[in-house]
Amino acid sequence: MTGPDWFDAGLPHIWLPYTQMRTASPPIPAIATDGCRISLADGRELVDGIASWWTACHGYNHPHIRQAAIDQLARMPHVMFGGLVHEPALRLARRLADLLPGDLERVFFSDSGSVAVEVAIKMAMQYWLNRGQSGRTRLVAFRGGYHGDTLATMAVCDPEEGMHSLFAGILPQHFITDLPRDDHTTAALEQLMETEGQRVAAILVEPLVQGAGGMLFHDPATLRRLRDLADRHGVLLILDEIFTGFGRTGTMFACQQADIVPDIVTLSKALSGGTVPLAATVARAHVFAAFLSDDPMHALMHGPTFMANPLACACANASLDLFEREPRLEQVAAIEEQMRDELEACRHLPAVRDVRVMGAIGVVELDRINDMNRLKARLVDQGVWVRPFRSIVYLTPAFTVTKAELARLTGAIRTVLAEAP
């Protein structure tokens, strides 16, 4: 017996994500969450440093979101969105349109980030088809990018660094290039657009932070260059704000720091406050207009069964209430300052290549991690839940993390990295 009976009985039947099931250490049974804490079956409690893949921005079990879920559960947990609509989804769509910059005003709901990106890709491709241009079948996306694990989204992730190089031969071909960070890379992208621009439907990028591809940062000027390039070559700009949206980089949406409006934006993760799966693909008025026609085939041909699930939309509305009522962006600024101070000490440790912080994202990049299983176990020994990947140890805590909890997280990282990683 290594855990509760449900653990021992169920584990042989579970297939875990991104996990080599032969060699990985077994997962840890969790039984409850509260705030920034995860309770384990063996009685230990961990301070959570990553908010369940940066979703639980208000901490776990926030009473306001919980009450909204309970009320909605009693009234109508789900109803199909084909032919029927409901208050939680329409209120949420209206609120997102008000929050997002410019005329990003048409919301298509789905249930995961990958699907939201798939919908954005499909929307961009069909936008051109509906306008009578059939040759625009490619996207421009970027090295270091991550947009999901489904087949269409794998094709726009970093082809080498990503988890998907195995599938190279069977994925649709797009143009994956360097972000235009400087003169050289900007000229290369200009050149690509000059020669291939007529085949391009859209440019797709995670604004300011390429998250799961390595927590790589770029500046607002890079985004402005992309907006400018898309305008000059008449292609759409899609921003994937699934990681960056809802305050993570210090502003409600990352695109606001560059003062640009994308043609399509994707949202998920913190959209529901990290409680239930929900995603959205939001289009500007001119994108939506390309789908208005007497031809039924010009409609957007997509419709996930659980789209706009009322329970999820109720949680998302409650999450937006919290952004209105509680000082979330101030909390992000305080987290940023504390992480800058406290992670800086890691810079002088032997294997550390870089320390970087943006908003509530703190990253310590190492030359390499020699023993991932050991590093993860050592972090748990310190009483924290931090999940390094590749050569990155990072924090994306809930915005409600206390000063003491954050100090415990940064302290644990410093302690563990001072040992050989």
Q: Which residues contribute to the annotated binding site for substrate?
A: 53, 146, 269, 303, 387
Q: Is 112 in the site for ligand PLP (CB under 6 A)?
A: yes
Q: Is 142 in the site for ligand PLP (CB under 6 A)?
A: no
Residue with Cβ nearer ligand PLP (281 or 338): 281
Longest dimension (CA), the chain: 67
In terms of Cα–Cα distance, which of 43, 23, 46, 18 is closest to 34? 46
- Per-residue contact flags (x/-) with ligand PLP for residues 259 to 288, judged by CB under 6 A: ---------x--------------------
Residue with Cβ nearer ligand PLP (48 or 240): 240
CA pair distance 141, 176, nearest whole angstrom: 5
| Residue 395 beta carbon to ligand PLP: minimum distance, rounded to whole angstroms | 16
CA pair distance 113, 119, nearest whole angstrom: 10
In one-letter notation, the amino acid at residue 351 is A
Residue from 51, 69, 117, 307 in contact with ligand PLP (CB under 6 A): 117
The H or E element containing residue 335 is helix 328-343
- Per-residue contact flags (x/-) with ligand PLP for residues 185 to 214, judged by CB under 6 A: ---------------------x----xx--
| Residue 268 beta carbon to ligand PLP: minimum distance, rounded to whole angstroms | 5
| Residue 258 beta carbon to ligand PLP: minimum distance, rounded to whole angstroms | 16
Contacts to ligand PLP from residues 146-175, by CB under 6 A: 146-148
Residue from 81, 86, 107, 114 in contact with ligand PLP (CB under 6 A): 114
CA pair distance 237, 145, nearest whole angstrom: 15
CA pair distance 45, 128, nearest whole angstrom: 52
Q: Is 307 in the site for ligand PLP (CB under 6 A)?
A: no
Residue from 81, 243, 253, 399 in contact with ligand PLP (CB under 6 A): 243
Residue with Cβ nearer ligand PLP (208 or 412): 208
- The neighbouring-strand residues paired with 209 are 217
| Residue 210 beta carbon to ligand PLP: minimum distance, rounded to whole angstroms | 8
127 in active site: no
Q: Can you say which residues are annotated as belonging to the binding site for pyridoxal 5'-phosphate?
A: 113-114, 240, 304-305
Residue with Cβ nearer ligand PLP (242 or 369): 242
Q: Choose the stretch contacting ligand PLP; rule: CB under 6 A; options: 106-114, 161-169, 218-226, 361-369.
A: 106-114
In terms of Cα–Cα distance, which of 167, 174, 156, 301 is closest to 240? 156
269 in active site: yes
- How, if at all, do strands 216-217 and 209-210 pair? antiparallel
Tokens 């249930």 belong to residue = 111
Positive or negative torsion for Cα 328, 95, 260, 133 = positive
**Total residues at interface with ligand PLP (CB under 6 A):** 14
98 in active site: no
Q: Of 48, 60, 127, 146, which is the active-site residue?
A: 146
What phi and psi, each to the nearest 5 degrees, are found at residue 99? -75, -40
394 in active site: no
CA pair distance 321, 335, nearest whole angstrom: 21
In terms of Cα–Cα distance, which of 82, 52, 70, 196 is closest to 137? 196
- How, if at all, do strands 37-40 and 45-48 pair? antiparallel
- Ramachandran category for residue 414: left, alpha or beta (phi over 0 → left; psi -120 to 50 → alpha): alpha
* Burial of 368 from C-beta contacts in 10 A (0-12 / 13-18 / 19+): exposed
- The neighbouring-strand residues paired with 420 are none
Q: Can you say which residues are annotated as belonging to the binding site?
A: 53, 113-114, 146, 240, 269, 303-305, 387
Contact 91, 251 (CB under 8 A): no
| Residue 112 beta carbon to ligand PLP: minimum distance, rounded to whole angstroms | 4
Cα separations (Å) of 386 from 51, 270, 350, 391, 395?
9, 18, 20, 13, 7
Residue with Cβ nearer ligand PLP (266 or 331): 266
Q: Of 60, 240, 263, 376, which is the active-site residue?
A: 240
Q: Choose the stretch contacting ligand PLP; rule: CB under 6 A; options: 18-26, 88-96, 108-116, 391-399.
A: 108-116
Q: Which residues bind ligand PLP (CB under 6 A)?
A: 112-114, 117, 146-148, 206, 211-212, 240, 242-243, 268
Residues acting as catalytic residues? 18, 146, 240, 269
